[in-house]
Amino acid sequence: MNIRRAEPKDLTKIQQCNLHNLPENYHMRYWAYSFITWPEVSYLAEDSSGRVVGYVLSSIEPDEQFPWLQVGHVNSLSVLRTYRRLGLAKRLMMLSQKAMTDSYNIEYIQLHVRKSNRAAFTLYRDKLGFQIHRKEVGYYGDGEDAYSMRITLKPTSFSHRLGLRFQAFVYARQRAVANWTLKCAKRKLSCTLS
Ligand SMILES: CC(C)(COP(=O)(O)OP(=O)(O)OC[C@H]1O[C@@H](n2cnc3c(N)ncnc32)[C@H](O)[C@@H]1OP(=O)(O)O)[C@@H](O)C(=O)NCCC(=O)NCCS
């Protein structure tokens, strides 16, 4: 078994593995975009014939609430049925996590998992230390709920957390001022026009 970083040349084989294992499938363009933009963070496992038997596809994104912060995102993980329970998914996840924290200044890593997916949920929570951040109702195409899970890998000091809170406060104030200015401008414009 060979485990290595995924590259654009592996696209077709990875997609085949994805189609075998998961109902959530991505367009080739998305895989290509990810590998080119964040080449360090996606990994694959291949057998002796070069067939991809497992992969993890990750990316780096802005935080939803505080967009100046970067977060790691695990978009897709799967292992072919005959290669399961050998520790492959755990190994792939750990490599991707390490690459995300070594190469990017991320605050945490997040992912979504189906509520009914015992295998993946156990892996994330019990073996890798992810915690449930929130439940997202009807997240998947077929209406199933997802758990949004997160893990913080870098040590966060009190002053770092305080700094983040301060940044969040400043950001919220700036948004409030911008919204108020916009509202005033709109009111002024409608008065001028009428
Ligand atoms: C989830 C998945 C990636 C796990 O792959 P894997 O290579 O078999 O996982 P690992 O061998 O690394 O397992 C690590 C741990 O995860 C947990 N785990 C894995 N499969 C499990 C199962 N069927 N039931 C319960 N726990 C399971 C166990 O704690 C396991 O440790 P252990 O073997 O020491 O008990 C694989 O089952 C899969 O591809 N499923 C379909 C696709 C999918 O659901 N992807 C995740 C989308 S969020």
Calculate the average pLDDT of the chain. 91
Cα–ligand 1 centroid distance for 14 (angstroms): 18
Give me the pLDDT at residue 126, please: 97
Angle, alpha carbons 135-141-145 (nearest 5°): 20
Which protein residue's CA is at the shortest distance from atom 18 of ligand 1? 119
Which protein residue's CA is at the shortest distance from atom 12 of ligand 1? 87
Higher-confidence position of 68 and 157: 68
Q: How many residues does the chain have?
A: 194
Would you say domain 2-154 falls under CATH 3.40.630.30? yes
pTM over 0.75: yes
Task: Give residues (CB < 6 A) around ligand 1.
Answer: 21-22, 77-79, 84-90, 113, 117-120, 122-123, 126-127
In single-letter form, the type of residue at position 178 comes to: A
User: To the nearest whole percent, how much of the chain has pLDDT over 70?
Assistant: 98
Q: Which residues make Cβ contacts (< 8 Å) with residue 131, sequence separation at least 6? A: 125, 149, 150, 151
Both tokens of residue 4?
A: 């290595």
